[in-house]
Chains A and B, each alone.
Chain A
Amino acid sequence: MVRQPVFRQLQFAFALLAFCCCLIGCDAQASVVGQAHADGPAIFPPASVTPTPGGPGIPLRLLIPAIGVNAPIEQVGIDSNGDLGTPSASPWTDTGWYVNGPRPGEKGSAVIDGHLNRPGNTPAVFWRLYELRAGDEADVIDSNGKKLRFRVTDVEYYTPQNAPYQLIFGNNSGKYLNLITCAGDWIPSQHQTTQRLVVYTRLI
């Protein structure tokens, strides 16, 4: 009879301890995101690109104040499926610039992608990309230390099969920077979402 209150106290303490551990674990995971953003720019040496004299340098960091993005930019190519590659060094906190296309600030469509979410649906770098609207601004810091400012002109959703690829990757009528992430519902059998979000911006 004496043991029962002690047992209940221990039971409660154990549960409380476990709950605190859970919270600390989740918070630690979230903190990793914050730390990655707060770090200095990650330098990815140009493996396949050389700076153009007088032109914009290699993009190193993307800043979108409206949605709290301040992320390093990796270089990505085309993956084994023929799709645009995604950041690999820090998949959830970095963004990826399509290295076979123009640099941000050059004539043509520069493209930067980033993950929407992590496994388990916690936020990744472009979690809030959908919040951008025409008129919002995005900055790219390049390897010359120059800040290039872009203004959002359009926000569109496409299914991967029906996207205007030439518009996204091959519009040479101006100096564009297009930001891409996933949207829509998750399709487990295809291991992808139903849609893609493309934010079109133009150098100002």
Chain B
Amino acid sequence: MKMKKTRRSPGGLALLLCGMFALTSFFLFPASRAQAATPAFVRIIHASPFVATADVFVDGSPFLTSFAFGAIAGYSPVPPGSHKVQIALAGKGVSSAALTETLAIQPGGVYTVAAIGTKPTNLTLKVFVDSNLATNGMSKVRVYQLVPDGGWMDVMDNGKWMAGAAYQNATGYLTLSPGSAAFNLNSASMNRSLSLATTLQANIVTSIFAVGMFNGEPKAEIVTAQTAALPGLPQTGSDPAPILSSGGQLSTPWLLLALALVIVGGTLFTRRLFAH
């Protein structure tokens, strides 16, 4: 029987190598696969004085219904990638959307998306990247300045300046001790202030949103949202070759070494004993 000899083309060989590489990558680098499919988390706040109670659509499907001014929806998982977000007056349907924007969502990202704007021409979505990681035993606070006529607003806690933010911006995360707090958000340009007395809890992230209008409707106010701070991943591994374990006891490899030394010592002792 005559064997048929085949010759691979360079293109075919390259294709084969690419395939092997893809397969190898798939099994060897699970983390990269994970990142591709990891959802992001998005929460939305309605902070547009122009739009009354609204429906929010993502990629044409209802996402939030009857979403009132000042309302904050909790974090929801969203697949990474580009998404079309539309906001329409409640019950009017997606075809009558007052706002249509496309957002780019990164895998594993955590976002606050604020619907802002005072008239049809400046309606927009402002995206903030959040970080809810815990700082052990402390409380975290972040202030989002969404009052269109508020300008720069200073954040005071019990009379002490903590941070500041201009319209459409947020402060960094303030790490504060748990306990009572008295916040004042001062607008120098308007000579007005918004106040919030609250009790800060350990390992809780408090988001303070300044919304509304100092001169106009709806009136400027503070709305808050609290979410549990998230711990980092635990350290659940142990030193594979420690000298001493954490409990101060000898671990197995060192126990074996110690016993080996005893054997050698015992052998030398008996050899000396019988030599005499």
Q: Is A93 an interface residue (CB 8 A)?
A: no
Interfacial residues, chain A to chain B (CB-CB below 8 A)? 3, 6-7, 10-11, 14-15, 18, 21-22, 25-26, 29, 76, 78-86, 96, 98, 100-101, 113-122, 124, 126, 155-160, 162-173, 180-182, 186, 188, 191-193, 195-196, 198
Q: How far is the CA of A163 from the CA of B133 in the complex (A)?
A: 11
Q: How far apart are the CA atoms of A86 and B270 in the complex, in Å? A: 48
**Contact between B231 and A116, CB atoms less than 8 A apart:** no
Q: What are 6 residue pairs bridging A and B, where the CB atoms are less than 8 Å apart in the complex?
A: A10-B274, A22-B256, A79-B234, A116-B236, A168-B230, A191-B235
Question: Could you tell me if B241 and A114 are in contact, using CB atoms closer than 8 angstroms?
Answer: no
Instruction: Return the chain B residue nearest A95 by Cβ.
Output: B236
Within the complex, the shortest CB–CB distance from B31 to chain A, in Å, comes to 5
Mark B247-275 against chain A: 1 for CB-CB distance below 8 A, else 0. Answer: 00001111110011011001100110010
**Which residues of B lie under 8 Å from residue A21 when comparing CB positions?**
259
The minimal Cβ–Cβ distance linking A49 to chain B, given in whole angstroms, is 13
Please tell me which one of the listed residues B107, B136, B236, B241 contacts residue A182 in the complex, with CB atoms under 8 A apart.
B236
Interface residues on B, range: 35 or more
Cα A172 to Cα B236 with chains together (Å)? 25
Query: For residue A173, which residues in chain B have a CB less than 8 angstroms away from its CB?
Result: 76-77
Asked if B263 and A18 make an inter-chain contact with CB atoms under 8 angstroms apart, the answer reads yes
The verdict on A29 contacting B252 (CB below 8 Å), with A7-B274, A167-B77 known, is yes
- Shortest B220–chain A CB gap in Å is 30
* Interface bits B39-56 vs A (CB < 8 Å: 1, else 0): 101000000000000000
Q: In the complex, which residues of chain B have a beta carbon less than 8 angstroms from the beta carbon of A160?
A: 232-233
Q: A98 to B231, Cβ gap below 8 A?
A: yes
- The residues of A that contact B241 with a CB separation of less than 8 Å are 120-121
B233 touches A84 (CB 8 A): yes
Does residue B68 face the partner (Cβ distance < 8 Å to A)?
A: no
Contact of B271 among A7, A29, A162 (CB under 8 A): A7
Interface residue ranges of B133-147 to A (CB < 8 Å):
133-137
Tell me whether A156 and B75 are in contact (CB under 8 A): no
A180: chain B residues within 8 A (beta carbon): 233-234, 236
The 9 closest A-B pairs by CB, nearest first: A182-B237, A120-B251, A164-B108, A121-B240, A119-B245, A83-B232, A84-B234, A193-B237, A156-B34
Instruction: List B contacts of A121 (CB < 8 A).
Output: 238, 240-241
In the complex, which residue of chain B has the Cβ closest to the Cβ of A109?
B230
Query: CB distance A82 to B231 under 8 Å?
Result: yes
Least Cβ–Cβ distance between B204 and chain A, in angstroms: 9
**Does B120 touch A at the CB level, under 8 Å?**
no
* B81 at interface, CB cutoff 8 A: no
A118 touches B251 (CB 8 A): yes
B193 at interface by CB-CB < 8 Å: no
B24 at the interface (CB under 8 A from A): no
**Binary flags per residue of B1-44, CB closer than 8 Å to A gives 1, else 0:** 00000000000000000000000000000110011001101000
A171 smallest CB distance to B (angstroms): 6
Give a binary string over B103-120; 1 marks a CB under 8 Å from any A CB, 0 the rest. Answer: 000011010000000000
What is the chain B residue whose CB lies nearest that of A101? B228
CB distance from A115 to the nearest CB of B (A): 5
Known contacts A6-B274, A119-B245, A156-B31, A164 near B75 by CB under 8 Å: no
Q: Is B132 an interface residue (CB 8 A)?
A: yes
Q: How far is the CB of B26 from chain A (nearest CB, A)?
A: 13
* Residues of chain B with a CB closer than 8 A to A169's CB: 228, 230-231
- Is there contact, CB below 8 Å, between B239 and A119? yes
Nearest-CB residue, chain B, relative to A10: B270
Query: Bound state CA distance, A193 and B41, in angstroms?
Result: 27
